[in-house]
Amino acid sequence: MGSSRRVSAVVLLVVVVVAMLAVTGVYGKEKKKKEKICNKGWECSGSVYCCNETITDYFQVYQFEELFSKRNTPVAHANGFWDYQSFITAAALYEPLGFGTTGEKQIKMKEVAAFLGHVGSKTSCTNDNYGIIGQALKVDLLSHPEYLEQNATLAFQAAIWRWMTPMKKKQPSAHDVFVGNWKPTKNDTSSKRLPGFGATMNILYSDLVCGQGFIDSMNNIISHYQYYLDLMGVGREQSGDNLDCAEQAAFNPTAPTATS
Ligand SMILES: *[C@@H]1O[C@H](CO)[C@@H](O)[C@H](O)[C@H]1NC(C)=O
Ligand SMILES: *[C@@H]1O[C@H](CO)[C@@H](O)[C@H](O)[C@H]1NC(C)=O
Ligand SMILES: *[C@@H]1O[C@H](CO)[C@@H](O)[C@H](O)[C@H]1NC(C)=O
């Protein structure tokens, strides 16, 4: 009799403790979230990333225009097509996820320089999967790929989506690699893939640009990034470690059989 009562007392105690843990756990989490989330209107809302400066706080229209006017970019309609308002409108979709809003001000400015360096140097979405991007942006790009050439906001959205999205499960996005969210595995390290601008080229262009020494296409992208760092007042000396991908093996080789 006594022992069964003791057992039920122990069971009751356990239940009470578990319930208390559950309550405090949930409460703790909720409190933490509520403390952190911020709203900054149309540009950034409902996220921890909106609590610090957003892109319009540190990147103005005259800076954007300097980036895209002072150098002849090989992008088809670089002059006039890419405009500040389209960039900011597109960025607003991704700022709550950390695009240009992660970490300290200098990291944010560097991410904008890195992303726009890719855009200004060459990036077009012609090799990308219109189906997946169209799904992500809720636009029928399979039937209307020309929208990307006609609508700069959409084109920026597609490019930022590409920057923010891992190409495969368990792989980092270019954003993750750049802002320091990514820890290389042993496999990465032995393939010379380390955090930095170089690995963003690896993710975006694979072995078309990386693992082939200091080829022109790679150097061109790096020089855009560094030129933009200068123009934004950050300075190319802040380019960061692992700037190139000259010796990196591709995350996703385009022709896996062509090893020799
Ligand atoms: C906000 O800014 C601080 C100081 O610059 C930085 O340490 C922190 O990581 C930033 N928050 C986010 C969510 O990036
Ligand atoms: C351009 O694309 C954006 C984003 O999908 C859309 O909101 C806007 O209406 C489009 N503009 C035109 C002129 O079609
Ligand atoms: C390591 O990398 C190689 C090629 O870079 C790949 O084929 C292999 O699957 C990777 N292994 C793991 C465990 O990720």
Q: Which secondary-structure segment (H or E) carries 115? A: helix 105-121
The residue to which tokens 């105690």 are assigned: 13
For the chain, the domain total comes to 1
Per-residue pLDDT, 260: 45
Per-residue pLDDT, 1: 45
User: Which range of residues forms the domain containing residue 74?
Assistant: 37-238
Is 256 domain-assigned? Answer: no
Residue 210 Cβ contacting ligand 3 at under 6 Å: no
Per-residue pLDDT, 111: 98
Which one of the ligands is nearest to 138 CA?
2
Residue type, 207: D
Output DSSP code: residue 20: H
Which token pair is 186? 């042993």
Contact 172, 166 (CB under 8 A): yes
Is 19 domain-assigned? Answer: no
Residue 227 CA to ligand 2 centre (angstroms) = 30
Which token pair is 120? 């200004």
Which one of the ligands is nearest to 89 CA?
2
Is 210 domain-assigned? Answer: yes
Which one of the ligands is nearest to 193 CA?
3
Per-residue pLDDT, 76: 44
Which one of the ligands is nearest to 139 CA?
2
Residue 191 Cβ contacting ligand 3 at under 6 Å: yes
Per-residue pLDDT, 115: 97
Q: How far apart are CA 86 and CA 8, in angstroms?
A: 66
Nearest CA residue ID for atom 14, ligand 2: 151
Q: How high is the mean pLDDT in each 10-residue block of the chain (260 residues)?
A: 57 53 49 74 96 96 86 53 93 98 97 95 65 91 91 94 94 97 96 97 94 96 96 97 98 69
Residue 187 Cβ contacting ligand 3 at under 6 Å: yes
Is 258 domain-assigned? Answer: no
Residue 191 Cβ contacting ligand 2 at under 6 Å: no
How far is it between the farthest Cα atoms of the chain?
A: 90
Per-residue pLDDT, 68: 84
Q: How far apart are CA 246 and CA 145, in angstroms?
A: 32
Is 106 domain-assigned? Answer: yes
Q: Report angle CA 168, 158, 45 to the nearest 5 degrees.
A: 95
Residue 209 Cβ contacting ligand 2 at under 6 Å: no
Q: How far apart are CA 99 and CA 103, in angstroms?
A: 10
- Give the ligand 3 atom nearest the CA of 185: 14
Is 24 domain-assigned? Answer: no
The CATH number of residue 125's host domain is 1.10.530.10
Residue 102 CA to ligand 1 centre (angstroms) = 6
Residue 258 CA to ligand 3 centre (angstroms) = 16
Q: How far apart are CA 155 and CA 211, in angstroms?
A: 28
Residue 250 Cβ contacting ligand 3 at under 6 Å: no
Residue 162 CA to ligand 1 centre (angstroms) = 24
Per-residue pLDDT, 81: 83
Is 229 domain-assigned? Answer: yes
Is 126 domain-assigned? Answer: yes
Residue 52 Cβ contacting ligand 1 at under 6 Å: yes
